[in-house]
Amino acid sequence: MTTAPRIRVVHVGGYATVQDLGRRGYRAVGVPVSGALDRLSAAYANALAGNRAGDAVLEVFGTISLALPGDAVVAVTGGQPRVFLDDVEVNPWTPVYCRQGSVLRVLPTGVGRARYIAVSGGVVCEKVLESASTYAKAGMGCLGRPLRPGDVLEVGGADPAEAWDRVADLKPPKELVSKHSRLGESLALRATEGVHAHLLEDLETLLRGYYVVAPESDRMGYRLEGEPLRSAGKLGRLPSIPTDRGYVQVPPDGRPIVLMSDAQTTGGYAVALHVIPPDVDLLAQLNPGQRVRFELVSLSEAENEVVKYLEELESPSLHREELEYWG
Amino acid sequence: MGGFSEPRIVRSGGYVVHVDVCEELSMECVGEMHKLYYLVKMGLAEAIDEVVPGVTSIAVFYDPRKIGGEKVASKIRELWWQRKSVELEDLHKPKRFTIPVVYGGDFGPDLAFVASWSKLAEEEVVRVHSSRVYRVITLGFTPGFVYMGEVDPAIAVPRLETPRTRIPRGSVGIAGKMTGIYGLESPGGWRLIGRTPLTMFDYRRDPPIPISPGDEVQFKPIGPEEFERLVGVFVGDYGS
C-alpha cells in the first residue's frame, strides 16, 4: 500500500470542473441536473480506472496539468486528447499506471472537446443534493467553481495495485473509440420531434441543412449557426415548460440552441427537436466551427437507443485486450 | 373550461412525456396542472424517475428499461380523468408563506416604470402587489426561482426587452400575469419592484426551499432597516 493519492492542479488552460453523472430529483425546485456533458466518456474513464461509473471525474475543456502525489491508475477519455505522463505520451481510452510524484498533462486536439480524467478511487469532494457535480452558477458541488492551479482534490481510498490488476488489459469497445476518433468530421444528431414541433411550420429547415457549432457554446447550451427558423419569431415566448439536456430550443431570433447539462430546468422558448442522449454526448465533443445536421427518428427507436445507452452508462462494456498475431 | 377536457400529451426523446394542460396561463389551468402533478407524483412514483411542473404543463421523466412511454401516457390519461373526483387540498395541503419585501429604490429599480405604465402612484403599486395572496405556480429556471400568480391586471407589466445580466438574489419581479422571486443571483428579464432579505434557497437544507407548487405567498412591505435585520434568515424560518 502506498499513501492515498491526492490530485494537485498544477496548471489549467481552459475550463475544468469536477463532475459525476448528475444531480437527480431536484429539478422540481429548479436545480439543473448538471453532470458530465459527455456521460458515456465519463463512465468509460471511470471503468478504465477501476471505478464505479458514477464516481466523480475531472471534466476538462482545454489543457490541464495534474500532480499525482501517490500511485494511481488513471484513464483519460473524450475524443482523442494528447496525454502525457512525465513527458512520455500515453494513450487515451486506456488504463495508465502513474507512479507517485508523476505529472499528468492533457492537451487538446481538434478531435473532441470535453476530456474526462478518472483516477482510481474517484475524486472525493463535497456532495450537494447527492452529487459531486459542480454547478458553478450557483456555487454548488465539490469546490463550487472551476478548478484553479493549486487546488488539491482528495481521492477515494482504492489500492492502485489492486485496481491495476483488474483493469490493466481492459479495452473499451472499438466502435466507441473509432466514433471518437472521427469527431473531427461532421456529425448527424438523431432527434425526435420536440414539444413544440407542431407550432413551427418551417421545422423542415432544421432538418434540411447543416448547422455550425458557435463559439459561445458552454455547459449550459451549444448554440448553432445556420439557416434560422423564421416561424420562431412569430411565436415569441410560450408558457415555460420543463426542459432537459438535448432539447433544441429556438428563441425568437430563430437560431437553435441545444441545451446541455447545466441548462435551466424550465424554458419559455419553442422546443423544436429533442436530440437523444447518446448523441448529446457526441455533440458535447464538437468544437466551434464543426458541422452538425439533424436526423429525425421515431419514438420507439429513441426508446430503444435510450435503453441501450442507460445500460452502457451503468456498466460500460469493457473487454480483455485481444491478442494480436504478427507475421 | 373547454381547454381542460383533454390535455395534449407529447412523448419526447425516448424518456420524457409532456402534458400540456392548456395553451395559455390562467390560474384555473394552473390548478388543474397542480392536481395532475401531485396525482402523477403519487400514482406513478414507482414507475418514473421524476415529475417536473412547468407553468401550464408537466414533464414526466421515465426509465424506458422499466416502462414504455406509451404506457406512461395512458396512465397519465387515467389520472387526468381521476382528478375530477379529487380536490387539490386532498393531494397537497397548501402552506402559506409571508415574504418581507423592500419596494422601490435600489431594491426595486423598475417600480417607477411599473407606476408610470399602470398610471398609479408607486405606493399604490406596492399596495396592489402586496394585498393579494398568490398561488405558487412552479419553481424553475434557476435554483429556487418561484413563479406565482396571478398579478392584478393593473400592474401586469410585460418583461424587459433586453434582460439584465445580473440580478441580486431575493429580487421580486413582475412578468405579465406572474410575479416571481429570484432565489439566487442570475440574469433575467422580469421587471424588478423590490427585494426580500430572506434566503430563498439553501442547498445545505433538505429540501433546499420549503415552497412547493400550490402553496400560497403574500408579500409584506418592510423598510430598509428591517431588511438589514432579516438578511440571511431562511424563508422556512421566517414567521410573519
Nearest to B52 among A28, A195, A310 (CB): A28
Beta carbons within 10 angstroms of residue B87's beta carbon:
9
User: For residue B236, what is the DSSP state?
Assistant: G
Alpha helices in B172-216 (DSSP H): none
CA–CA distance, B192 with B194 (Å, rounded to integer): 6
Which distant-in-sequence residues (6+ apart) come within 8 Å of A10 by Cβ?
A: A65, A66, A67, A103, A149
Q: Where are the beta strands (DSSP E) in chain B?
A: 8-12, 16-20, 48-53, 57-62, 96-103, 134-139, 146-149, 164-167, 171-175, 178-181, 186-188, 191-195, 216-221
- Model confidence at B46, pLDDT cuts 50, 70, 90, reads confident
Q: Is a pLDDT exceeding 50 seen at residue A327?
A: no
A11 and A155 share one domain: yes
- Model confidence at A323, pLDDT cuts 50, 70, 90, reads low
* Cell triple for A38: 459527455
Q: Is a pLDDT exceeding 60 seen at residue A201?
A: yes
A48 and A146 share one domain: yes
Give chain B's end-to-end CA distance (angstroms, integer).
36
Do B140 and A266 make contact, defined as CB atoms within 8 angstroms?
A: yes
CA–CA distance, A87 with B216 (Å, rounded to integer): 62
Q: Is residue A235 part of a domain?
A: yes
Give Cα separations from B112 to A65, A150, A194, B174, B222 (angstroms): 52, 48, 40, 13, 18
- pLDDT digit string, tens, across residues B136-157: 999 998 899 999 999 999 999 9
Rounded to a whole number of angstroms, the distance from the CA of B225 to the nearest CA of chain A is: 28
Beta carbons within 10 angstroms of residue A320's beta carbon:
9
CA–CA distance, A22 with A17 (Å, rounded to integer): 13
* Cell triple for A84: 502525457
- Model confidence at B1, pLDDT cuts 50, 70, 90, reads very low
A13 and A162 share one domain: yes
Residue B4's pLDDT is what? 66
**How many CB pairs below 8 Å do chains A and B form together?**
138
CA–CA distance, A303 with A276 (Å, rounded to integer): 9
CATH number of B3-91: 3.30.1360.40
Rounded to a whole number of angstroms, the distance from the CA of B113 to the nearest CA of chain A is: 22
Across B41-49, average pLDDT: 88
- Model confidence at B26, pLDDT cuts 50, 70, 90, reads very high
Q: Is a pLDDT exceeding 80 seen at residue A321?
A: no
Domain end call among A111, A142, A176: A176
Closest CA to A81 of A168, A180, A158: A180
Do A240 and B54 make contact, defined as CB atoms within 8 angstroms?
A: yes
On whether the CB atoms of residues B147 and B180 are closer than 8 A, the answer is: yes
Lowest mean per-residue pLDDT among A304-308, A319-323, B123-127 = A319-323
Do B13 and A276 make contact, defined as CB atoms within 8 angstroms?
A: yes
- pLDDT digit string, tens, across residues B202-223: 998 988 999 999 999 999 999 9
CA dihedral B19, B23, B25, B28 (to 10 degrees): -70
Across A253-280, average pLDDT: 96
- Portion of chain B with pLDDT greater than 90, in percent: 87
Give Cα separations from B27 to A28, A319, B145, B215 (angstroms): 19, 56, 19, 13
CA A20 from centre of chain: 10
Mean pLDDT over all residues of chain A?
94
A36 and A148 share one domain: yes
**ipTM, 2 decimals?**
0.95
CA–CA distance, A75 with A94 (Å, rounded to integer): 6
Across A136-142, average pLDDT: 93
Nearest to B144 among A30, A307, A311 (CB): A30
The reply to whether A25 touches chain B by the CB within 8 Å rule is yes
Do B50 and A240 make contact, defined as CB atoms within 8 angstroms?
A: no
Rounded to a whole number of angstroms, the distance from the CA of A147 to the nearest CA of chain B is: 21
Residue B39's pLDDT is what? 96
Give the residue range(s) of CATH 3.30.1360.40 domains in chain B. 3-91
Q: Is a pLDDT exceeding 70 seen at residue B240?
A: no
Q: Is residue A181 part of a domain?
A: no
| Ramachandran category for residue B137: left, alpha or beta (phi over 0 → left; psi -120 to 50 → alpha) | alpha
Nearest CA in chain B to A30: B140
- Residues 117-136 (A) with a CB less than 8 A from some CB of B: 128-129
Q: Which residues of B fall within a CB distance of 8 Å from A29?
A: 139, 143-144, 201, 207-209
Residue A320's pLDDT is what? 87
Residue A69's pLDDT is what? 79
Give the residue range(s) of CATH 2.40.100.10 domains in chain B. 96-230
Higher pLDDT, B68 or A234: B68
CA–CA distance, A52 with A316 (Å, rounded to integer): 10
Lowest mean per-residue pLDDT among A280-284, B80-84, B202-206, B236-240 = B236-240
Amino acid at A30: G
A86 and A229 share one domain: no
Containing domain of residue A275, as a range? 187-296
The reply to whether A195 touches chain B by the CB within 8 Å rule is yes
A211 and A248 share one domain: yes
Nearest CA in chain B to A278: B13
Q: Is residue A317 part of a domain?
A: no
Lowest mean per-residue pLDDT among A1-10, A17-26, A90-99, B18-27 = A1-10
Domain end call among A122, A143, A176: A176
Q: Is a pLDDT exceeding 80 seen at residue A324?
A: no
**Domain of residue A253, CATH code:** 2.40.100.10
Q: Is a pLDDT exceeding 70 seen at residue B120?
A: yes
Closest CA to A315 of A74, A78, A20, A46: A46
A53 and A146 share one domain: yes
CATH number of B96-230: 2.40.100.10
| Cross-strand partners of A211 | A292
Which distant-in-sequence residues (6+ apart) come within 8 Å of A323 by Cβ?
A: none
DSSP symbols for A285-308: TPPTT-EEEEEE--HHHHHHHHHH
On whether the CB atoms of residues B101 and B221 are closer than 8 A, the answer is: yes
Domain end call among A141, A176, A211: A176
Do A27 and B24 make contact, defined as CB atoms within 8 angstroms?
A: no
CA–CA distance, B181 with B237 (Å, rounded to integer): 17
- pLDDT digit string, tens, across residues A30-77: 999 999 999 999 999 999 999 999 999 999 999 999 999 789 999 999
A22 and A157 share one domain: yes
A46 and A161 share one domain: yes
CA–CA distance, A271 with A244 (Å, rounded to integer): 10
A18 and A69 share one domain: yes
CA–CA distance, A320 with B227 (Å, rounded to integer): 64
Q: How many domains does chain A have?
A: 2
Chain A contact probe: residue of B71, B165, B203 with most A CBs at under 10 A: B203
Across A195-213, average pLDDT: 96
Beta carbons within 10 angstroms of residue B38's beta carbon:
23
Lowest mean per-residue pLDDT among A69-73, A144-148, B76-80 = A69-73
Do B69 and A299 make contact, defined as CB atoms within 8 angstroms?
A: yes
* Cell triple for B35: 392536481
Q: Is residue A305 part of a domain?
A: no
Residue A325's pLDDT is what? 55
Residue B151's pLDDT is what? 97
Q: Where are the beta strands (DSSP E) in B108-177?
A: 134-139, 146-149, 164-167, 171-175
Chain B contact probe: residue of A21, A26, A29 with most B CBs at under 10 A: A29
| Overall pTM > 0.80 | yes
- Portion of chain A with pLDDT greater than 90, in percent: 90
A145 and A231 share one domain: no
Rounded to a whole number of angstroms, the distance from the CA of A168 to the nearest CA of chain B is: 32
A251 and A151 share one domain: no
Do A192 and B143 make contact, defined as CB atoms within 8 angstroms?
A: no
